[in-house]
Structure 1
Amino acid sequence: MIFDTHAHVFVRGLPLAQHCRYVPDYDATPEDYIAHLDRFGIDMGILVQPSFLGTDNHYMLEALRRYPTRFRGVAVVEPGIAHAELDAMAESGVIGIRLNLIGTALPDLTLPAWQKLFGHIKALGWHVELHREARDLPDLIRPLLKAEVKIVVDHFGLPSQEYQQDDPGFQFLLKHAATHKIWLKLSGAYRNGNPATADKNVAPLIPLLLQEFGTSHLLWGSDWPHTRFENAFNYQKAFDLFKHQIPEEKIRQEILSIGARLLID
């Protein structure tokens, strides 16, 4: 199976999180997204709860229930969520939770509430997805490794443009690839600097990621519908950029299939 591991669905009028960095003024429906998947020959998409909807996952969950053979989901939850609610999400096709920490205070993941949550995440076989700049990833990843959960890092790890591959947080990722507990998404290159230079933003990172993570722990995500960057990117450009970054078809096909399969299983 071929996977797109990062996309969002939403419509106008849904309840919004208390503090939003950005709210789209258009709809991005499951049917819109499936049309892209079909056009590019992609079997399954992983829907990621967008930051502006907070912990109200109901629209994504409805999409999972409506299209169980096309979607899996990553929810955003509070650390004190009831285990029964997580179990119900699992029945609907949720496979992980996302910690969207851009612009927020860094949580202490060693606290009992988080550790209790991670215990159930591990039991469910889910992963914990991190969206945070590379400099802070070590403080987040260490307690997650201790909790023995699968970890997914968004958008190339978001190293600083000043240091790129030499960013200490990115180097931490490379060093800990050998744990085989961390997956990294080749997605949202335009979120790593100037969207006009998306390829240049991440080009130095890719050989190192292939060397240390291998194709089994790298994932591709379109980041559709490219929130905040809708005028600069679309699905075609995202897929073409991936083909340019990974020109060898065999390696590209492995990234599109093996890593996501391991993550879901």
Structure 2
Amino acid sequence: MSTAAIATGLRIDTHAHVFARGLPMADGRRYTPAYDITVDEYLARLDAQGMSHGVLVQPSFLGSDNSYMLQAIARAPDRLRGIAMVESDIDEQALLALQQGGVVGVRFNLVGGAPLPDFKGAWRDTLRHIAQLGWQVEIHREAVDLPRVLEPLLELGMKVVVDHFGRVDPGLGVDDPGFRYLLSTGASRLVWVKLSAQYRNGGSEGGARFARQAWPLLRQHLGPERLLWGSDWPHTQHESMTDYADSWRRFEDLVSDEQDRRLITGQTAAQLFDFA
């Protein structure tokens, strides 16, 4: 993707979810939705906000059954990509089938004290296959544990995407040692951070305050070519705090430089998520 792509109006939302109440739910889930979200609703949000493309992230409460997400991508395969959840013993053919369905990475949703995967053991071969496909590994975990989660992935040379500013301790903010570690990974050029879901780092006001402090540090240490924007729509468990348009407005307020915004939502996202 050349810089010319930025001029074409490419604008990519890298984090949203679709789901339905009637789908099989994962055991041990932390949350069960009480409403449905369809891909048509998501596409309407993209259109209303002038977004050219979107990335659907498999919700943790649906586990590794990615079929609903794949059906959604199939409705608009040129506009949508997916981040799947998989089991450690998934075979190469199943990974290739996911790739053919528009999947470009896998996610580990590890918040809330979930046990850390054995990336050096049970997951090692699968991670190698994922790396061979050119996929990313997306991590959602509290900042305090990011060193333990990211180090084995970086040792394998994986492309790693960290969700929601790194999920810091709201009482520590940018002084959270996990966030400081995240800044240090910028030198690897293997880590991307999503400027998404400010409210998951201290609520509406506290999260916005943290984001304002975090943005210049993230820009300095990672650069806009390693930063992404995601709406986190439909903002599960925080629906009353925000909506799609507000999520974009907050990003515009945070990243005031238009060139930075266009790079983050255009070239950076297009390259990572394989949008032509």
Band the TM-score falls in, shorter-chain normalisation:
over 0.9
Counterpart in the other structure of 1:218:
227
Separation (CA, whole Å) in 2 of partners of 1:94 and 1:182? 19
Question: Which AA in structure 1 matches 2:57?
Answer: V
The one of 46, 49, 62 equivalent to 1:37 is: 46
1:149 and 2:158 aligned: yes
Deviation at 1:195, TM superposition (A): 2.8
Question: Which AA in structure 1 matches 2:175?
Answer: D
Counterpart in the other structure of 1:139:
148
Deviation at 1:66, TM superposition (A): 2.1
Counterpart in the other structure of 1:167:
176
1:109 and 2:119 aligned: yes
Q: Name stretches of at least 5 consecutive residues in structure 2 with no aligned partner.
A: 1-9
Question: Which AA in structure 2 matches 1:245?
Answer: L
Counterpart in the other structure of 2:3:
none
Deviation at 1:102, TM superposition (A): 1.0
Q: How many residues align?
A: 264
1:122 and 2:131 aligned: yes
Deviation at 1:196, TM superposition (A): 4.2
- 1:190-209 aligned at under 5 Å gives the runs 190-209=199-218
Judge conservation of contact 1:216–1:262 (CA < 8 Å) in 2. no
Deviation at 1:171, TM superposition (A): 1.0
The one of 257, 266, 273 equivalent to 1:248 is: 257
Question: Which AA in structure 2 matches 1:10?
Answer: F
**Secondary structure of 1:223 counterpart:** coil
TM-score normalized with structure 2 length: 0.93
Question: Which AA in structure 2 matches 1:251?
Answer: D
Separation (CA, whole Å) in 2 of partners of 1:261 and 1:179? 20
**Secondary structure of 1:204 counterpart:** helix
Question: Which AA in structure 2 matches 1:12?
Answer: R
The one of 66, 70, 76 equivalent to 2:79 is: 70
Question: Which AA in structure 1 matches 2:199?
Answer: Y
**Secondary structure of 1:198 counterpart:** helix
**Secondary structure of 1:137 counterpart:** helix
Describe the shift of the 1:173–1:194 C-alpha distance in structure 2 as closer, same or farther (beyond 3 A): same
Q: Name stretches of at least 5 consecutive residues in structure 1 with no aligned partner.
A: none
Judge conservation of contact 2:30–2:61 (CA < 8 Å) in 1. yes
**Secondary structure of 2:161 counterpart:** strand
**What is the root-mean-square deviation of aligned Cα atoms in Å?**
1.1
The one of 52, 57, 74 equivalent to 1:48 is: 57
Deviation at 1:83, TM superposition (A): 1.2
**Secondary structure of 2:83 counterpart:** strand
Counterpart in the other structure of 2:240:
231
Counterpart in the other structure of 1:17:
26
Counterpart in the other structure of 1:96:
105
Q: Deviations over 1:85-137 (max 9, x none)?
A: 000000110000000001211222111x2110110011100000000001101
**Secondary structure of 2:129 counterpart:** helix
The one of 50, 72, 84 equivalent to 2:93 is: 84
Deviation at 1:252, TM superposition (A): 1.0
**Secondary structure of 1:151 counterpart:** strand
Deviation at 1:198, TM superposition (A): 3.0
TM-score normalized with structure 1 length: 0.97
Judge conservation of contact 1:178–1:213 (CA < 8 Å) in 2. yes
Separation (CA, whole Å) in 1 of partners of 2:263 and 2:82? 21
1:188 and 2:197 aligned: yes
Deviation at 1:18, TM superposition (A): 0.5
